[in-house]
């Protein structure tokens, strides 16, 4: 714990949530390029695509994170999603339909950011980053700007560091979502420019043996669209 | 999942966070008495006083909850507290000092309420309750009214049910903290009136064999003060 940091607004320590996917890898690359000292956090929440946790660990190392931690939380006990419960992952769904699909995990980003907040406070970090994206996203409410703003506000009243900074008239925690207004193609191009090795990322909700992507779930299809529009070859589907 | 409920503001389904302690038991009794259909949630977060989880299960049954669930999350991986890490629990600390003690677990209530929110959404419940107390509390930032208000706001932008209700101009999730402005003595008297069996509750941060309370940690001392001022005998210290 470093309680001396809470008056130092030059603090550049960041916790980056890593899923093992494309978006969170590019998020880490952006924070790193912007001069943040990044620690990464992956969550084992009983997801059927648990192989992504190994990808997260490799991406963390490849992109120069200071430290990687993994926390286990059994969200299967709460039920309610195709990603954790015994509900089929939808294939070839209409992405333009605008509804929230069954792969939505109730309160997932709230739970994950809360854990990132606990990690941040325990190591004296001021910054928290995650790969939320409000354009080419899958219709999840917890990827919208309103959500990020509300979480940042909560973080600053929920914690010792937030309350101590507020007493000095300062907002301590900052939540970063650098991909928020990027298209999937822009995310791919940003990752390419920053040297992200896309072979180290996995996006599929329902992978086969050897983490082979299914090609039909929302996540595979959004990824494919992004690579195609960016004119970049995805090494994971070669 | 019951998605038909999100337009029904008469929904009385509540998720009550249970720790196994006095405050959360009385919270459950209050919600139950107010006509809520309560499901309870206990969190195994690697706490050194893990025995409280058995108390939570017994209290849930005794106070008529519909269902009890337990979620495991290993907060020890995040470090930073005497309740989860290898830091001694302070004894006979000055409770009037106004500082935040080392038993503070970074972002604990944020993490727990996030899980309660996920549980609530997956079973179509509108109400979330926990035993926060802003008077005789231990100096934790996440037991204050500001925190509760910020969490409720977050809940309503973070979730499918919240967003769908907001589209109809309604606030869906309500966070209840019925003990917020009670003294510990008032909590004891409320519990007594509602028939809470205090023998089924445990408050100690550092219990000995057979869950025997240490009598010296903040939590034991706040509890003792409450029972004494209420003129009620605590069956757990007889």
pLDDT of residue A4: 44
**Of B83, B102, B81, residue with least CA distance to B93:** B102
pLDDT value at residue A2: 43
Average pLDDT for B221-237:
95
Classified as helix, coil or strand, A72 is strand
Number of folded domains in chain A? 1
| Cβ–Cβ below 8 Å for A122 and B79 | yes
- Residue A69 burial (CB count, 10 A): 19
**Does residue A60 lie within any of the structural domains?**
yes
pLDDT at B4: 43
What is the complex's ipTM, to 2 decimals? Answer: 0.89
A237 falls within a domain: no
Distance (Å, whole) CA A233 – CA A225: 11
- Taking CA–CA distances from A77, the nearest residue in chain B reads B71
The reply to whether B21 falls in a domain is: yes
Residue B226 lies in a domain: no
Q: Tell me, yes or no, whether B14 lies in a domain.
A: yes
The pLDDT, as a whole number, for residue A46 is: 83
Do the domain assignments include residue B195? no
List the domain range (segments joined by +) for residue A90. 3-230
Residue B15 has pLDDT above 90, yes or no: yes
Cα separation, A53 vs B231, whole angstroms: 54
**Residue A85 — very low, low, confident or very high, per pLDDT cuts 50/70/90?**
low
By the 10 Å C-beta count (0-12 exposed, 13-18 middle, 19+ buried), B231 is classed as exposed
Residues 168-227 of A with CB under 8 A from B: none
Please tell me if residue B78 touches chain A, with a CB cutoff of 8 Å: yes
Residue B43, helix vs strand vs coil: strand
**Minimum Cα–Cα distance from A2: chain B residue:** B80
Residue B129 forms beta bridges with which residues?
Answer: B16, B176
Please tell me which residue of chain A has the smallest CA distance to B154: A150
Taking an 8 Å cut-off on Cβ atoms, the answer to whether B80 and A144 are in contact is no
Residue B136 confidence (pLDDT):
63
Max avg pLDDT among A133-142, B23-32, B88-97: B23-32
Spatial CB neighbours of B64, under 8 Å, sequence gap ≥ 6:
B32, B38
Using alpha carbons only, what angle is made at residue A205 by residues A178 and A25, rounded to the nearest 5 degrees?
Answer: 30
* Tens-place pLDDT, residues B32-52: 999 999 999 999 988 877 889
> Per 3-state DSSP, what percentage of chain A is helix, strand, and coil (rounded to 5)?
45, 10, 45
Residue position matching structure tokens 């001392």 = B221
Q: What is the rounded distance in angstroms from the CA atom of residue A29 to the CA atom of residue B206?
A: 43
Q: What is the pLDDT of residue A159?
A: 93
Contact (Cβ atoms closer than 8 angstroms) between residue A90 and residue A101: yes
Residue whose C-alpha is closest to residue A65's, from A24, A37, A26: A37
CB pairs under 8 A between A and B: 159
Question: In the β-sheet with A127-129, what is the strand arrangement from edge to edge?
Answer: A67-72, A37-44, A13-17, A127-129, A174-176
- Decide: B177 and B144 in contact? Cβ < 8 Å: no
- CATH number of the domain that B12 lies in? 3.40.50.620
Instruction: Report yes or no on B136 lying in a domain.
Output: yes
Query: Residue A198 falls within a domain, yes or no?
Result: yes
pLDDT at A54: 94
Angle at A75 between CA A128 and CA B168, to 5 degrees: 75
Residues of chain A contacting residue B144, judged by C-beta atoms under 8 Å apart: 157
Query: What mean pLDDT value characterizes chain B?
Result: 89
Contact B74 A79 (CB under 8 A): no
- Flag if B77 and A72 touch (Cβ within 8 Å): yes
């Amino acid at each position: 714990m470093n309680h001396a940091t809470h008056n130092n607004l030059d603090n550049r320590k960041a916790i980056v949530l890593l899923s093992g996917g494309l978006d969170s890898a590019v998020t880490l690359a952006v924070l790193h390029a912007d001069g943040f000292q990044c620690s990464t956090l992956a969550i084992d929440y009983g997801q059927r695509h648990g192989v992504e946790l190994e990808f997260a660990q490799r991406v963390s190392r490849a992109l120069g994170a200071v430290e990687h931690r993994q926390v286990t939380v059994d969200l299967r006990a709460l039920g309610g999603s195709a990603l954790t419960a015994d509900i089929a992952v939808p294939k070839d769904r209409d992405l333009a339909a605008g509804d929230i699909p069954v792969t939505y995990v109730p309160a997932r980003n709230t739970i994950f950011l809360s854990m990132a907040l606990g990690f941040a406070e325990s190591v004296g970090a001021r910054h928290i980053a995650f790969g939320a994206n409000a354009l080419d996203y899958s219709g999840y409410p917890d990827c919208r700007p309103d959500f990020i703003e509300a979480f940042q506000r909560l973080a600053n009243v929920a914690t010792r560091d937030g309350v101590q900074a507020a007493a000095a008239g300062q907002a301590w925690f900052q939540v970063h979502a650098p991909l928020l207004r990027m298209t999937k193609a822009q995310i791919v191009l940003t990752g390419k420019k920053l040297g992200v090795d896309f072979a180290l990322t996995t996006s599929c909700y329902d992978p086969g043996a050897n983490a082979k992507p299914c090609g039909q779930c929302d996540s595979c299809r959004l990824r494919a669209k992004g690579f195609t529009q960016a004119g970049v070859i995805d090494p994971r589907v070669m």
